[in-house]
Amino acid sequence: MVEDLLFGLEDEAKARLTELIRRWGLLADLCFSDLLLFVKDPDNPARVVVVAQVRPATAATVHQVDMVGSVFSKESAQSIFSSFSSGGPSFQERIDQAGTHKVVSQAIPVPYDGKIIAVMVRDFLLNPQRAQGELEATYVSLFEKLAKMIQHGEFPYSSDDVVETPRVGDGVMVLGADALVQFMSPNGVSAIHRLGCRSPRRGSGLTELGLPLLGPAQAAAERSPVLDEIERKGDIVVEFISFPLFDRGSPSGTLVLIRDVTDLRVKDRLILSKDATIKEIHHRVKNNLQTISSLLRLQARRIDSDKAKQALSEAERRIRSIALVHEALSREVGEQAPMGKVIESIQVLATESAPQGVKAEYEVVGDLGDVDASIATPLAVVIAELMQNSVEHAFANLPIEDSVGLKIKLELVRTNSVLKVTISDNGEGFPDSFDLQTTASLGLSIVRDLVTTQLNGKISLRPGPSAKVTIEVPLESN
């Protein structure tokens, strides 16, 4: 939605505004206000359009409805047009729609490359009867500093690799340019108490408090946010994100957001433990399947009947196909199998089990990416059966010396809703009378049943020279 409304701006300007939107939840919390982002309508410069909106987590919202996409004329948005033209902040007062409260709008220009590309508007209810406490006054003063940084092109930061920003309610610490504590919110004090640190006093140093933070100094030097994490008592983990503050280019202090992430880290460890357990299970299943495969191979050697040997050999190969998926899952995190690696292993398996004298060349076009195990296992068996069918039957009625030029091609396509696999060869193909529903071939019957039942997919084949089988597997129904 935002990208659609920013179509009139250059890519660099869009990136600037997108980065501001990524961080402005922090701004809304600090100023206890709704924030709206306006750009000029590219079709009519006498109008402005709301391209983004954020509500504070620290106060009630002024706008009960979604304002994104709303259009305002020059007459109804005088302060916004004033900031566009002057490059400075402006204010405007109005009565809300209910006619009960006075709303103050503070317009803050957002410059880029010497031009004002947008105006950020802070809307808040004016309540002269309510006095601000120290916390509120500190938060608003922090917002004013960041607003000035926006006007001077110093916020959002040009480099910002910190993925997540905690909300202000988790805890705030303010350091001066001398790196001494000027303020810490009650939630911030509680968080450092859990680390076993002393209660802060105004003017305390971080070392004095027992907080060996490198982030504030590093953030000022690199002019970008820096993440610190302190773990104490073996299980208490607190996160500190340092945002450097500047006054016309000179460091003026640091805003540090504090968050107790102990519960999150415990969950992370549980997830890692679960992933390791799942990988170990897949590893053991793979080993068990390989053991069964070896037993079938040994049993086939002790049987005189050629038909029995062939049946055991085919069963052993199918079990190895399933083992390939579990082997891939045992090396990956989660329940996603990399089908590219699985198909490479299936090619090796088909080559090893090819009839004597048959040499096949394989061509793989496209990629299916990572696929859920529930799809990967039956799909691997289907692909293995079709490749084996090509190896065994493409030139079944020709002398061995004429079958050395077998070429098997796999075309793999993945969209948001379907996996499509097409396997073709340059062999004799299926006879015109071939019917997949009534075939006596065990391998193709397995393919048909797996595709239509387990994978909820469709299978089609082309009769005549050069066999071609296409499989479509819907992702949503799986």
pLDDT tens, 330-370?
Answer: 766 567 888 888 888 888 877 777 666 667 788 899 999 88
| DSSP bridge pairs for 409 | 363, 424
- Provide mean pLDDT across the span 9-36: 92
pLDDT tens, 97-121?
Answer: 666 778 999 999 999 999 999 999 9
pLDDT-derived band at 198, boundaries 50, 70, 90: confident
Q: Fold for 336-478, please state it.
A: Heat Shock Protein 90 (3.30.565)
Rounding to the nearest 10 degrees, give the CA dihedral for residues 192, 187, 104, 35: 70
Q: How many residues does the chain have?
A: 478
- Provide mean pLDDT across the span 445-473: 87
Helices (H), 162-261: 186-194, 206-209, 215-222
Q: DSSP character for 312?
A: H
pLDDT at 4 (0 to 100): 63
Q: Is the pLDDT of residue 192 over 70?
A: yes
Q: What share of the chain is helix, strand, coil (3-state, %, to 5)?
A: 40, 30, 30
Q: Is the pLDDT of residue 315 over 60?
A: yes
- Domain 168-260: give its CATH code: 3.30.450.20
pLDDT tens, 241-296?
Answer: 999 999 999 999 999 999 998 888 778 777 766 767 667 777 777 777 778 877 88
Q: Fold for 2-132, please state it.
A: Beta-Lactamase (3.30.450)
Distance CA 179, CA 172 (A): 15
pLDDT at 94 (0 to 100): 85
Name the region of 153 (left: φ>0; alpha: ψ -120 to 50; beta: rest). Answer: left
Residue type, 358: V
| DSSP bridge pairs for 183 | 174
- Provide mean pLDDT across the span 40-58: 92
Strand order in the sheet with 458-462: 360-366, 406-414, 418-425, 468-474, 458-462
Q: Is the pLDDT of residue 27 over 60?
A: yes
